């Protein structure tokens, strides 16, 4: 009897303390997330909505917002002008072309280099692992602006790249790398005798106000130096990511394969690569998100002569808002929103193809 | 014995193949290491040269003991050949002297101040939010988690213009405060801390709870001290990110050269147009990189460990 009542009262007390505990946790939880939530909402979520809203207005940014007639809502006019069929369509798609070549050039190369380096550094027989890791990782702790200036210097007319190439071949004529607008695919076609004139009339057909010939230009020489920069900077970081994934693969897996007589190549192909798939997904996603937004490097290496072949979409947003002779924040916001959508779609597409959530092929 | 003999021939062939593979792998590794290191070495060497030598004779990299000044008594710039011979060059500190007499010390202070301020706030806010997400049930828990994931998808460029407008309306444009509050919390840091707190066994907190400690005491006295590795990683990533932050500085601080950070300042040092003032830019680049390089060399382990905290499990 007494035991029974003691039991029920203690369980009732337990229930109240549990309810109290839950309330205390809820209050603590809200207090704990409060500052971060406020900062994220005010400086990330709200700005996104503001950008979306202004992309549907005609506010150029000069008129004070508190005036009643500061701007009008104009619907999709900015999108139409830049993306659909308006006057700035060629500028937009030129930037899209530049960015896409940049992404397609940088992401696969840096991923493959990172994987190769990681596999080599992970070999048991290799001495001086930490030296290589330090050397490869160092560029990624360096400011993107510093790296850009280093590359501007490396590829300058009298710079080290030209100096080294002249040393290697006396016949070499220094190239003005950072001001050269020639597309590398155009240059390749030229070596087999195909030029805009000889390719036929179809290359002059315009798609989104840009001739097919311009679409297939490839990245310009100037853009290629920026791509080299990106690969040079990022490969090491991605290598460290791959390396930590490789070190997470238990050696017993390989020992079992060795007992079965699997060659090194077979082990790499059928064990290492499949096990690295989530890491590859992560590395490619990082690469896509980073390269689609390329800005700092363009800001430094861009010049008056190469604007047409080095302007990225991200840089176009900035230039339209702040650097143009007639700045237009509403139009720049529209371009920014389109870039957001492009990155979003690209990430989803690569999820389809690389298949980050599926473990095996 | 005779049974083994036939096998030895293919084995030696595969041995040769393996050696070849090793040599190729080492060659690739070594070549890439040179490609990664040489630009830094050349940058340091050329930061001690005058403009003419940087632009025409960039390769000489071994400094001679005697130094030169870039202008002679008549105020004329010295020619490249007066500073360089063979693989040697006579170093000059004129570039460093000029940037240090300019606004660079101020920019270095700004960079350090802004990076430290943002990092302190992030360490506090991110770890509190991370703990709440990992351990506490509160209304809006799921919504907040998805907001955090969502913000990681927003490209920085999209935020450029609206942040500019917002800070302008708040009167925080071109101010330290504007930069600091804008970056005071970040989704990456919150997720990093959440993941770490989830790995701590609950028993530790439950024991403290039985003793009557409330959540605040538990968090600050017990859980946070256990989170040193994650906090170190967060500190390093945040400090590095802000030390090198260009885009936010350009938008928020771009209107006042006294508030520039180092990356933004470097873009001013270059001069205008195609004629880059390499002596200034390279000296400024070395000064910008040096503090991060020292931090990296001393805390290298944490940089690499930090990467393993960033949720690579797919």
Task: Give tens-digit pLDDT for B198-221.
Answer: 888 888 888 888 877 788 888 888
When pLDDT is cut at 50, 70 and 90, the band that residue A87 belongs to is confident
> If contacts are CB pairs under 8 Å, which of residues 121-150 in chain A contact chain B?
121, 123, 125-126, 131-139, 141-146, 149-150
Least confident of A15-24, B31-40, B232-241, B278-287: A15-24
Domain boundaries of chain A, sorted by first residue: 86-183+218-354
Token output for A261 = 């007589």
Give residue A359's pLDDT band: very low, low, confident or very high (50, 70, 90): very low
- The answer to whether B274 contacts A134, with C-beta atoms less than 8 Å apart, is no
Lowest mean pLDDT among A182-191, A345-354, B233-242: A345-354
Average confidence (pLDDT) over B126-136 = 91
**Looking at chain B from residue 264 to 283, which residues have their Cβ under 8 Å from any Cβ of chain A?**
264, 266-267, 270, 273-274, 276, 278, 281-282
Cα nearest neighbour of A118 on chain B: B29
Instruction: State the best of A17, A20, A153 to mutate against chain B, taking most chain B CBs within 10 Å.
Output: A153
Contact between residue A181 and residue A221 where contact means Cβ atoms under 8 Å apart: yes
For residue A204, pLDDT over 60 is answered with: yes
Question: What is the enclosing helix (H) or strand (E) of A211?
Answer: strand A210-211
pLDDT attached to residue B10: 55
C-alpha A33/C-alpha B144 separation (Å) is: 9
Lookup result for tokens 């006396």: A170
Residue A220: band (very low, low, confident or very high) from pLDDT cuts 50, 70, 90? very high
Sign of CA dihedral A257, A262, A266, A270: negative
Residue-range domains of chain B with CATH? 5-97 (no CATH), 103-308 (1.10.3720.10)
Q: How far apart are CA A163 and CA A171, in angstroms?
A: 12
| Residue B35 in this model has a pLDDT that exceeds 80 | yes
Token pair listed for A271: 């064990």
Place of tokens 């944490």: B302
pLDDT at B3: 45
The Cα of A211 is separated from the nearest Cα of chain B by a number of Å equal to 28
**Main-chain dihedrals φ then ψ at residue A210, nearest 5 degrees:** -125, 130
pLDDT higher than 70, residue A223: yes
For residue B24, what is the nearest residue in chain A, using CA coordinates? Answer: A120
Whether the CB of B169 is below 8 Å from some CB of chain A: the reply is: yes
Which pLDDT score is estimated for A252?
85
Distance from B67 to chain A by nearest Cα, in Å?
23
Question: What angle do helix axes B262-269 and A144-154 make, rounded to 10 degrees?
Answer: 30
Q: What distance in Å separates the CA atoms of residue A110 and residue A106, rounded to the nearest whole number?
A: 6
The reported pLDDT for the residue numbered B31 is 93
Q: What is the ipTM of this complex?
A: 0.90
| Pairing outcome for strands B62-63 and B88-89 | parallel
CA distance B184 to chain A (A): 7
Check CB contact under 8 Å for B138 and A264.
no
Inter-chain CB pairs, A–B, below 8 Å? 297
User: Mutating which of B123, B157, B245 best tests the A interface, going by the most A Cβ atoms within 10 A?
Assistant: B157
**Which residues in chain B touch residue A164, judged by CB atoms under 8 angstroms apart?**
59
The values of phi and psi at residue A263, to 5°, are -70, 170
Instruction: Indicate the range of A28-32, A223-227, B200-204 predicted with least confidence.
Output: B200-204
The percent helix, strand, coil of chain A (3-state, each to 5) is: 70, 0, 25
**For residue A14, what pLDDT is reported?**
67
What is the 3-state composition of chain B as percent helix, strand, coil, each rounded to the nearest 5?
Answer: 70, 5, 25
A86-183+218-354: CATH, from 3.30.70.270, 3.10.200.10, 1.10.1760.20, 1.10.3720.10: 1.10.3720.10
Q: Residue A12: its pLDDT value, please?
A: 64
Residues of B in contact with A236 (CB under 8 A): 36
Residues B181 and B172: beta-carbon distance below 8 Å: yes
In this predicted structure, the answer to whether residue B4 has a pLDDT above a threshold of 50 is no
A13-17, A260-264, B175-179: which range is least confident on average? A13-17
What's the rounded Cα separation, in Å, for the pair B55 and B279? Answer: 9
DSSP for A20-85 reads HHHHHHHHHHHHHHHHHHHHHIIIIIHHHHHHHHHTTB---S-S-TTSTTS--B-TTHHHIIIIIS
Nearest in space to A329 (alpha carbons), one of B163, B169, B156 = B163
Least Cα distance to A118 among A137, A105, A104 occurs for: A137
Q: Which helix (H) or strand (E) holds B88?
A: strand B88-89
- Identify the pLDDT of residue B29: 93
Burial class (CB in 10 A: 0-12, 13-18, 19+), A23: exposed
Task: Let me know the angle formed at the C-alpha of B159 by B291 and B140, rounded to the nearest 5 degrees.
Answer: 100
Q: B162 and A48 in contact by Cβ < 8 A?
A: yes
Q: Which of A117-126, B7-16, B281-290 has the lowest mean pLDDT?
A: B7-16
Length of chain A: 361
């Amino acid at each position: 009897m007494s035991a029974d009542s003691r039991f029920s009262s203690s369980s009732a007390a337990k229930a109240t303390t549990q309810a109290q505990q839950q309330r205390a946790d809820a209050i603590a939880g809200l207090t704990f997330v409060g500052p971060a939530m406020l900062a994220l909402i005010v400086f990330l979520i709200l700005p996104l909505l503001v950008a979306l809203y202004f992309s549907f207005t005609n506010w150029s940014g000069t008129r004070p917002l508190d005036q009643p007639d500061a701007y009008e809502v104009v619907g999709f006019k900015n999108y139409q002008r830049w993306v659909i069929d308006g006057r700035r369509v060629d500028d937009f798609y030129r930037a899209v072309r530049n960015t896409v070549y940049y992404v397609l050039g940088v992401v696969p190369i840096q991923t493959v280099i990172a994987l190769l380096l990681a596999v080599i550094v992970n070999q048991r027989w290799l001495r001086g692992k930490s030296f290589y890791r330090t050397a490869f990782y160092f560029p990624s702790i360096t400011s993107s602006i510093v790296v850009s200036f280093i590359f501007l210097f490396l590829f300058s007319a009298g710079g080290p790249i030209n100096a080294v190439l002249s040393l290697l071949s006396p016949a070499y004529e220094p190239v003005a790398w950072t001001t050269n607008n020639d597309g590398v695919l155009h240059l390749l076609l030229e070596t087999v005798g195909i030029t805009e004139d000889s390719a036929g009339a179809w290359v002059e057909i315009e798609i989104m106000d840009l001739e097919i010939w311009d679409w297939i230009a490839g990245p310009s020489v100037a853009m290629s130096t920026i791509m080299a920069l990106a690969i040079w900077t990022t490969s090491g970081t991605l290598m460290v990511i791959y390396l930590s994934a490789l070190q997470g693969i238990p050696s017993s897996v390989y020992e079992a394969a060795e007992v079965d007589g699997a060659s090194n190549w077979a082990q790499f192909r059928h064990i290492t690569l499949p096990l690295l798939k989530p890491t590859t997904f992560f590395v490619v996603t990082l690469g896509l998100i980073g390269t689609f937004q390329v800005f700092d490097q363009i800001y430094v290496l861009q010049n008056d002569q190469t604007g047409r072949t080095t302007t990225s979409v991200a840089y176009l947003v900035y230039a339209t808002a702040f650097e143009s002779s007639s700045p237009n924040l509403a139009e720049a916001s529209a371009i920014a929103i389109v870039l957001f959508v492009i990155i979003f779609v690209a990430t989803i597409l690569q999820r389809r193809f690389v298949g980050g959530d599926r473990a095996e092929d | 014995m005779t049974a083994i003999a036939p096998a030895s021939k293919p084995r030696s062939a595969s041995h040769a193949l393996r050696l070849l593979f090793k040599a190729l792998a080492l060659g690739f590794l070594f070549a890439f290491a040179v490609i990664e290191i040489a630009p830094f070495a050349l940058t340091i060497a050329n930061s001690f040269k005058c403009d003419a030598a940087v632009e025409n004779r960039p390769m000489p990299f071994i400094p001679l003991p005697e130094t030169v000044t870039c202008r002679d008594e008549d105020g004329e710039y010295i020619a490249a050949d007066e500073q360089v011979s063979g693989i040697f060059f006579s170093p000059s500190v004129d570039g460093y002297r000029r940037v240090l007499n300019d606004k660079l010390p101020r920019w270095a202070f700004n960079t350090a101040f802004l990076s430290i301020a943002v990092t302190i706030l992030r360490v506090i806010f991110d770890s509190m939010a991370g703990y709440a997400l990992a351990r506490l049930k509160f209304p809006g828990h799921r919504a907040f988690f998805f907001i955090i994931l969502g913000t990681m998808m927003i490209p920085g460029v999209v935020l450029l213009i609206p942040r500019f407008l917002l800070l302008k309306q708040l009167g925080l444009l071109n101010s330290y405060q504007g930069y600091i509050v804008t970056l005071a919390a970040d989704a990456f840091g919150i997720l990093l801390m959440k993941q770490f707190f989830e790995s701590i066994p609950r028993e530790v907190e439950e024991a403290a709870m039985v003793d009557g400690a409330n959540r605040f005491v538990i968090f600050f006295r017990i859980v946070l001290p256990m989170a040193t590795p994650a906090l170190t990683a967060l500190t390093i990533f945040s400090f590095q990110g802000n030390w090198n932050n260009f885009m936010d500085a350009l938008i928020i601080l771009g209107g006042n050269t006294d508030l520039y950070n180092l990356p933004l300042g470097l873009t001013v040092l270059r001069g205008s147009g195609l004629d880059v003032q390499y002596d200034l830019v390279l000296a400024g680049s070395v000064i910008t990189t040096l503090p991060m390089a020292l931090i990296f060399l001393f805390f290298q382990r944490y940089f690499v460990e930090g990467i393993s905290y960033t949720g690579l499990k797919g």
